[in-house]
Amino acid sequence: MKKLYIIGNGFDIAHGLDTAYWDFRSFLFDNYPQFLENFEYWYNVGRVDFSSPRLSANARQQWEERTKVKLWYELENVMGCPNIYEMMDRSESVLNDMDLDSGLVGIESTMNSYWQEQYGYINKFEQYVKEWIETIDTTDIEPKRMALVESTDYFLNFNYTDTLETVYKIEDVLHIHGGVSSVSDIDPIMGHCNYQDIEEHRRLAGEADEVLNEGEASIHRAIANYLRSIYKDTNSIISLSESFWEKLSDIDAVVVVGWAAGKADWPYLRKIQKSIKDDTKWHVYYYDNKALAALSKAMQEEGIEGKYEVTYMQTREFWD
């Protein structure tokens, strides 16, 4: 029986690898603290002075738990929703100061410099993801599912690591979002799916251009560019792997392991449905009730439940 495995970050974490989003934050904290401070600021993560004697002994732990849930637990789902109102307010404040001081001369060039200073840091995001993931060492990891060793099934891997290749000796793996240089020619891709806000701010920028409102146009264009720089273009990614999707016509089962089913990745479920047989069975493994709810929602929203036979099982049943 031929299978398609959909492998997510929970797979690597189960092998003891530090690949959670919070581990990426720790990497940024140690190596690029200014980037991290700017990033969290635009997502309403308050800055705390932990050296203050007024803070209780467990203040850091409480703050980290709130921050983890607020931003870093489902990072890609949250990335497309920065505090746009704060961006607008800050931008308009700068614009108002310019109105008083410069009489609206040179708005576009001055504002572009402001945008680069405020939002330009985000262009380093994927570079830092690549630097981080290249530090993950899989050489001493032992297999946890012997049936996967040297498997000839199909693997759609959302992870950036070489766990499948190094630990399980699997040769044919599609790293759909790129990965470490040893297994992928594509640098790691991470991002959101909030294309609606990108288009809305582009539209508003166009309307402002029509009435020669350079300041308003600059604000909306900058916000659209910020969102676009961390947007995951799943349609383009899917189109680059047509040969993989074509192979799925002969599979009998889809096995989901360690995958969070974030909304940004739902388009892959649509593509899989178009590629597989109508009697293909789905075996979906979940870590906890929160993961089960997310997976079930994705399967319902994409029409998989009802069309296919779907079985949910706790992840512990997957491992040897």
Token pair of 16 as six digits: 């003891």
Structural domain boundaries, residue 87: 21-45+59-130+195-229
Please indicate, yes or no, whether residues 27 and 148 belong to a single structural domain of this protein.
no
Predicted local confidence at residue 111, as pLDDT: 77
* Separation of first and last alpha carbons in the chain: 20
Q: Provide the β-strand partners of residue 271.
A: none
Please indicate, yes or no, whether residues 89 and 161 belong to a single structural domain of this protein.
no
Please indicate, yes or no, whether residues 284 and 225 belong to a single structural domain of this protein.
no
pTM of the model: 0.91
Spans of the chain below 70 pLDDT: 99-106
Q: Where are the alpha helices (DSSP H) in 8-104?
A: 9-14, 21-31, 33-41, 59-67, 75-79, 84-102
CA–CA dist 182, 165 (Å, integer)? 9
Query: Among residues of the chain, what percentage have pLDDT more than 70?
Result: 98
Tens of pLDDT, residue by residue over 151-183, are 999 999 999 999 999 999 999 999 999 999 999
Tens of pLDDT, residue by residue over 97-124, are 775 455 455 677 777 788 888 889 999 9
In a domain, 54, yes or no: no
Query: Cα separations (Å) of 175 from 57, 181, 193, 236, 279?
Result: 43, 11, 19, 14, 26
Residue that is last in its domain, among 172, 203, 229: 229
Token pair of 153 as six digits: 């099934």
Q: Is 317 helix (H, G, I), strand (E, B) or coil?
A: helix
**Total domain count for the chain?**
2
Nearest one of 106, 180, 98 to 137, comparing CA atoms: 180
